[in-house]
Amino acid sequence: MYGSNSGRGLRMTACAAATGAALLVAGCSSDGEDKGEKNPATSQQPKAIDPYWVNPDGNAAKQVETYTKDGDDKNAELIKKIASQPVGEWIGPDNPEEEARGFTEAAAKADRDALLVLYNVPHRDCGQFSKGGASDGNAYREWVDKVAKGIGDRRATVVLEPDALLHLVDGCTPQEFHEERFDLLKGAVERLKQQPATTVYLDAGNAGWQSPDALFEPLQRAGVDKADGFSVNVSNFFPTDLSQEFGKKLSAKVGNKPFVIDTSRNGNGPYTEGDPAENWCNPPGRALGEPPTTKTGDPLVKAYLWVKRPGESDGDCKGGPKAGDWYPEYALELARNAK
C-alpha cells in the first residue's frame, strides 16, 4: 500500500513560518497584489478559475529571482511553473495569530482567498521526520483560537491537520491519544467555523486506503459534519482520477460531503520502484500535477489545490535536506517532468 503516511515531510521551515508575520509587520499585506503583478513569476491567477492568493515572497518566487539574477533563464522559467501558482501557507507554532492575519490580509488586498494549512496537533507524525505539534491539548486549543482570531472576517480556506486521522486508523498514533485527538479536531472545526468567511476541509488521507470504510467513522467522530468537507492526497502522489474515486466513495459515507484534492506532485503518480516504506519521501521522477483550480468539472470536487508546497523536502532522505526545507533540485525535477 502506497503512502499510508501521506503527510510526512510536511514540517515547515522557520523562514516559511515567519512569512505571515513578516507580511504584516513589513507592510507587504498592504501591497500584496501589486507586488505580485510586478513580478511575472507571481502574478495572480484569474479569479474565476483560481481564487487563491499567490504569495510573491514564497520559496519558489525567491528561487526564480535568484536564477534570473544569475542569468539562468532556463531554470527560472521552470520554477515559474511553481511560483506562479497558489500553494498552502502552513501556520507555524509560535506566532499563529500574526501569521494568519498577515496571510489573510495580503490575500484580501489582492482580492483573493488565503489557503492555510494547520499542522500542529499533539503527537504529530508518530515521531517521524515531521514529528512535533502542540505540547498538549490545551496548547493546541489556544493555538487554533489564535489562528481563528488572525483570520478574522477575511476569506480563508483551511486544510485541517494532514494525516491526523489517518494515523489513528493505521495504528501509528498510540491508542491513549485517540480520544483526545478526536476531541481536538472536532473542536478545531467548530472554532474555525465561527469565522464568517472560513471554509474548513478536514484531512481524510489518500487513495492508498482503498476501503473508505476504515475512515468514514473517524471522520464523523472528528466533526466532518460541521466542516465544509474533507481533503485527500495531501503531500501524496496518487493520480487525480484515483483520488477522485476514493473521495467519492468516502463522501457517500459522510453525507455526500464535497472534497478537495492535493494535485501538487501527482503528475506521474506514486513511485513504485524503491523501498515501499520510503516511497513517499522525495521520490524521483515525480511531476507537478494539475494546476490549482476550482473548475474541476465535478460538483463534489470543490478544488484541485497545491497543499503540499512543491519543491520543499519530505525529509533528509534520498539526498534531500530536512523536512520542509526548500530543495531546488527536486523543484526543478517536478517542473521539468510536468505535462
Of residues 125, 203, 228, 325, which has the active-site annotation? 125
Alpha carbon 123 to its chain centroid, in Å, reads 19
What letters, b where the CB count within 10 A reaches 16 and e where it falls short, cover 24-45? beeebbeebbebbeebebbebb
Whether the CB-CB separation of 100 and 92 falls below 8 Å is answered with: no
Query: Has 314 been annotated as catalytic?
Result: yes
Cell of 110: 489582492
Quote the radius of gyration of the chain (alpha carbons, Å).
18
Query: Has 34 been annotated as catalytic?
Result: no
Whether the CB-CB separation of 7 and 163 falls below 8 Å is answered with: yes
Q: How many whole angstroms separate alpha carbon 117 and alpha carbon 129?
A: 18
Q: What is the 8-class DSSP label of residue 292?
A: P
- Residue 182 is inside which H or E element, if any? helix 178-192
* DSSP-assigned letters across all residues of 65-127: HHHHHTT-HHHHHHHHHHHTS---EEE-SS-HHHHHHHHHHHHHHTT-BEEEEE---TTBGGG
Query: Has 163 been annotated as catalytic?
Result: yes
Whether the CB-CB separation of 248 and 302 falls below 8 Å is answered with: no
Of residues 57, 113, 163, 228, which has the active-site annotation? 163
Give the phi and the psi of residue 113 in degrees, each rounded to 5. -95, 145
Those residues with Cβ within 8 angstroms of residue 31's Cβ, 6 or more apart along the chain or in another chain: 109
**Strands of 301-305's sheet in order across:** 89-91, 114-118, 156-160, 198-203, 229-232, 259-262, 301-305
Q: How many whole angstroms separate alpha carbon 183 and alpha carbon 200?
A: 16
* DSSP-assigned letters across all residues of 35-57: HHHHSGGGPPPPTTT--BPPPTT
Of residues 50, 228, 262, 314, which has the active-site annotation? 314
Task: Return the active site residues.
Answer: 125, 163, 314
